[in-house]
Amino acid sequence: MNDLKSAEENSDHKELFENIVLRCPRCGTQKMIQVPSKVITQSGMVITIGIPVGLICDHSFQAYVDKFSSVRGYQVVDFLIPKTEYLQSALPKDEQNETDSQFTKSPLFQNIIYLLRNCVDDREILGSAVFTTKGNVLYSSIPDNTLIDTMSEFEVRSKEKLHRITKMFLELKNHQKVCSEYIQIIDLEIIVVLFFAEMVNFAIGNMYLKNLVKSIESLT
């Protein structure tokens, strides 16, 4: 019975994650990592995975992975990414969501990512993200399992057309928390997400989120 349960859990785990072998463009070190399937299979996207020092080797780099889990290429970066990040990247025009693509290639989006990176402190704010209203990831530094759960919540809300709900607060079993808010940037409605440690209550989390949203809105 225990063996059956273990097999079922392993099967569920395989469905949630894709195994991808990455190779450092500097030293050639190879290692297999797991990436959330929901991120990989987003329609019409290539994602950029930011690899921090220590995950594969002693170097930081970016890997470009398409929706079939194939690595399209690598790029060495001149800065250190503190943790694994997922970003939407560009595909040929016939495969792009034009509105999302234009936004994620804009200087504004890069400035938003800069704000999101700098609000994470590994003590209270453990990760940040930007989603579309359909639950697609434009940027994320949220840990994988939490990212999957959060995306699922947004997908449910999208299917049920609950876009009038401007904020969402989730508490995990370990008392960590996810707070999100819908905002409109130019012609695109996005969801800004912060992931908090268990010590942070919703009132404090909402305050952090409100300050972040104000900073993002001030960029436009």
68 DSSP assignment: T
**Alpha carbon 42 to chain centroid, angstroms:** 12
> What pLDDT was estimated at residue 166?
80
Count of other CB atoms within 10 angstroms of residue 141: 24
**Residues 13, 27: contact at Cβ < 8 Å?**
no
DSSP string, 84-96: -EEEEE---GGGS
**Which of these ranges, 8-12, 134-138, 207-211, 213-217, has the smallest mean pLDDT?**
8-12
**Residues 71, 64: contact at Cβ < 8 Å?**
yes
55 DSSP assignment: T
User: Which helix (H) or strand (E) covers residue 145, if one does?
Assistant: helix 144-159
**Alpha carbon 147 to chain centroid, angstroms:** 7
Residue 175 is encoded by which pair of tokens?
Answer: 């008392």
Contacts of 123 (CB under 8 A, 6+ apart): 197
What value does the mean pLDDT take over residues 174-189? 88
What value does the mean pLDDT take over residues 132-161? 82
Answer whether residue 152 shows pLDDT above 60: yes
What does R_g of the chain's alpha carbons equal in angstroms?
17
Looking at domain 97-220, which of 1.10.10.10, 3.40.720.10, 3.30.70.3400, 3.30.450.30 is its CATH number? Answer: 3.30.450.30
**Alpha carbon 98 to chain centroid, angstroms:** 20
pLDDT tens digits, one per residue of 42-75: 766 789 999 999 999 999 999 999 989 999 999 9
Strand partners, 19: 34
* Domain residue ranges in the chain: 1-96, 97-220
Q: How confident is the model at residue 20 (pLDDT cuts 50, 70, 90)?
A: very high
**Has this prediction a pTM greater than 0.85?**
no
Closest CA to 138 of 147, 129, 146: 129
52 DSSP assignment: P
pLDDT tens digits, one per residue of 90-137: 654 444 456 667 788 889 999 999 999 999 988 999 999 998 887 789
**Residues 18, 69: contact at Cβ < 8 Å?**
yes
More confident residue, 155 or 14: 155
Dmax (CA) for the chain in angstroms is 58
**Residues 188, 99: contact at Cβ < 8 Å?**
yes
Quickly tell me which residue has 């401007």 as its tokens. 166
Residue 195 is encoded by which pair of tokens?
Answer: 């992931």
Counting residues of the chain whose pLDDT is more than 70, the rounded percentage is 83
